């Protein structure tokens, strides 16, 4: 997707006035979808549309639009605390009017995500971003979570609603904490609370200080992922303590790691009895599946879908509800409304279900 050669101030001026895209679009005589494309840099307005927008916003066309090559090559923005690799490639996005930098890290995790520029941390905690040519469209929606199936949702929103989604792989606790800090619009979680015997709600209530809505995405199967053919004959979690087993763990705060810790405690086992438990910390389901498939580890915990996609042997552990947590103050955002409509589409649900290990019966409904 090629971005517009114009740098637009339409979004900033609209948000400063507290207007919705629909309101500005109505006053300028264009559709909300056309306005969203202009704001995101996916469309170049005609002369007539540019004049209409400038008149409604009370500025000149030159103040509203500039050629990108005349804009400063560096910008200083807030650090999101999400992503890795700073100094390195970063993506920028706005949430409630604040602009943040998100580290894209290595090519392994975000090689297909275009960067806005190269970010460098400053002593005051902010990030200086040196722009790259042909900046990508600005994201309309920022989502943190660990379900790789969300890529299907992002693709649907891009094709059907002309919305740009920045999806940031993150463990469940990290995603919730990012939601609390106001750096994402949506957090994906699967967190068991042993005290109440329930998933997600207690963690949301403890972590997030504002009211939210829990939206069901899917019930998925967590499993032990083992090498193709299971050559070590691993039959369950107890076998992870065998000396010849090399285990790859998830990062602290991830739902998969917390699940394993709980299962070990129920069996009277400790993490130090497993080779690699404290020494490794992979950052996503696909990462651990790829590592086991490549022979870098004999076993890991992840959703069954990624194991089957790699042809791995899987041993089911538990079914879990994966939910999307949305702040109530975002529910009327056009991008959130489009997301909720998309989740209810049978075509998308069938695509997710086809990955294997997903029950999408409640997708898009309040949890």
Model confidence over 271-307: pLDDT tens digits?
999 999 999 999 889 999 999 999 999 999 999 999 9
Give the CATH fold of the 142-367 domain. Answer: D-Maltodextrin-Binding Protein; domain 2 (3.40.190)
3-class secondary-structure state, position 28: helix
Burial class, 245, CB count within 10 angstroms (exposed 0-12 / middle 13-18 / buried 19+): middle
Domain ranges of the chain: 6-66, 72-138, 142-367
Q: Do domains 6-66 and 142-367 have the same CATH topology?
A: no
pLDDT tens digits along 10-57: 988 887 788 889 999 999 999 998 998 898 878 889 999 999 999 999
For domain 6-66, give the CATH number.
1.10.260.40
3-class secondary-structure state, position 302: strand
pLDDT tens digits along 106-142: 544 555 678 999 999 999 999 999 988 776 888 999 9
At residue 108, the pLDDT reads: 47
pLDDT surpassing 70 at residue 328 = yes
Average pLDDT over residues 348-364: 95
Between the alpha carbon of residue 196 and those of residues 192, 199, 261, 262, the distances in Å are 9, 9, 17, 14
pLDDT surpassing 60 at residue 239 = yes
Phi-psi region of 226 (alpha: psi -120 to 50; beta: other; left: phi over 0): beta
Please confirm whether the linkage preceding 317 is cis (ω < 30° from 0): no
Cβ 78 vs Cβ 126: under 8 Å = yes
Length of the chain equals: 367
Residue with tokens 């995500």: 113
The end-to-end CA distance of the chain, in Å, is 35
Backbone angles phi, psi at 316, to 5 degrees: -60, 140
Burial class, 113, CB count within 10 angstroms (exposed 0-12 / middle 13-18 / buried 19+): middle
- Between helix 334-343 and helix 150-161 the angle, nearest 10°, is 120
Burial class, 16, CB count within 10 angstroms (exposed 0-12 / middle 13-18 / buried 19+): exposed
pLDDT tens digits along 206-237: 999 999 999 999 999 999 999 999 999 999 99
Give the number of other Cβ atoms within 10 Å of residue 339's Cβ. 27
Backbone angles phi, psi at 222, to 5 degrees: -90, 145
User: What does pLDDT average to over the chain?
Assistant: 91
- Which of 147, 110, 198 is closest to 355 using CA atoms? 147
At residue 9, the pLDDT reads: 85
At residue 109, the pLDDT reads: 52
At residue 106, the pLDDT reads: 59
Report the greatest alpha carbon distance in the chain: 73
């Amino acid at each position: 997707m090629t971005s517009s050669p114009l740098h637009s101030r339409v979004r900033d001026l609209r948000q400063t006035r507290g207007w919705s895209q629909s309101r500005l679009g109505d006053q300028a005589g264009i559709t909300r979808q056309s306005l969203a494309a202009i704001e995101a840099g996916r469309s170049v307005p005609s002369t007539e549309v540019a004049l209409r927008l400038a008149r409604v916003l009370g500025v000149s066309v030159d103040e509203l639009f500039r050629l990108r090559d005349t804009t400063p090559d560096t910008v200083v923005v807030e650090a999101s605390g999400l992503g890795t690799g700073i100094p390195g490639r970063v993506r920028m996005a706005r949430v409630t009017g604040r602009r943040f930098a998100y580290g894209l890290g290595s090519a392994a995790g975000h090689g297909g995500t275009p960067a806005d520029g190269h970010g460098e941390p400053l002593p005051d905690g902010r990030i200086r971003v040196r722009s790259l040519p042909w900046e990508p469209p600005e994201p309309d929606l920022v989502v943190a979570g660990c379900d790789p199936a969300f890529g299907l949702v992002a693709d649907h929103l891009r094709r059907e609603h002309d919305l740009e989604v920045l999806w940031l792989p993150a463990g469940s606790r990290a995603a919730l904490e990012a939601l609390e800090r106001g750096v994402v619009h949506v957090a994906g979680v699967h967190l068991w609370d042993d005290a109440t015997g329930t998933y997600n709600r207690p963690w949301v209530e403890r972590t997030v200080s504002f009211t939210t809505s829990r939206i069901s995405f899917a019930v998925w199967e967590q499993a032990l992922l083992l090498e193709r053919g299971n050559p070590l004959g691993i039959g369950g979690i107890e076998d992870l303590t065998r000396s010849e087993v090399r285990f790859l763990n998830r990062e602290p705060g991830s739902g998969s790691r917390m699940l394993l810790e709980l299962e070990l405690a129920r069996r009277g086992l400790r993490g130090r009895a497993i080779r690699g438990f404290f020494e490794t910390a992979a950052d996503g389901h696909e990462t651990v599946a790829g590592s086991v498939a490549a022979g870098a580890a004999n076993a890991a915990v992840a959703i069954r879908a990624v194991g089957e996609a790699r042809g791995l042997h899987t041993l089911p552990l538990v079914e879990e509800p994966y939910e999307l947590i949305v702040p109530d103050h975002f529910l009327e955002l056009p991008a959130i409304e489009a997301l909720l409509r998309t989740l209810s589409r049978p075509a998308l649900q069938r695509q997710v279900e086809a990955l294997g290990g997903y029950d999408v019966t409640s997708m898009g409904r309040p949890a």
